[in-house]
Amino acid sequence: MRLVLISLLMIPLTLGCDGGEEKPAADTGVDADADADDTGTPGPDYVHTFSVPADVPFEHTEAVVLRGEETWPMCEDCPEGLTVRMTSDDADALLLYSGTLAPGTYAFSLRLKHVLDAPTEYSTIDATITAE
């Protein structure tokens, strides 16, 4: 009984109206649906989805947040013909996708390795590129 009473006392009571307008959530650059899947495991830090022309050289950039003095991408399952690299090591760093892809949809994951004075950190990116 005490536990129920203590729990009820900890619930904030709101009276009146605050204007009725809902404030939009802050845009963090991370897909809200990607935060966790149905198993409760964390989702990727970033989701990059874009289209490019097939069989034509392209360059496409996506913003990422650096968490260290140096950051570079590591991709073990990148499609053939695609190169992924950082454009710079500053606060406005971009991840550069470039290359030439045959027609199709390419879904893959890569990690950004952030080198720090302390332990190294990683960001996970789920990318989907459609070449048409």
pLDDT of residue 102: 96
CB 32 within 8 A of CB 24: no
CA 47/CA 29 separation, integer angstroms: 9
Q: Specify the number of domains making up the chain.
A: 1
Task: Express each pLDDT in 14-38 by its tens digit.
Answer: 434 444 444 444 444 444 444 444 4
Do 37 and 21 touch, CB atoms closer than 8 A? no
- Give the CATH number of the domain where residue 63 resides: 2.60.40.10
Q: Judge whether 67 lies within some domain.
A: yes
Q: What angle do CA 85, 115, 124 make, to 5 degrees?
A: 55
22 assigned to some structural domain? no
In a domain, 129, yes or no: yes
pLDDT, one tens digit per residue, over 36-59 is 444 445 678 889 999 999 999 999
Is position 45 within any domain?
A: no
Q: Which domain holds residue 100?
A: 55-132
pTM > 0.75: yes or no:
no
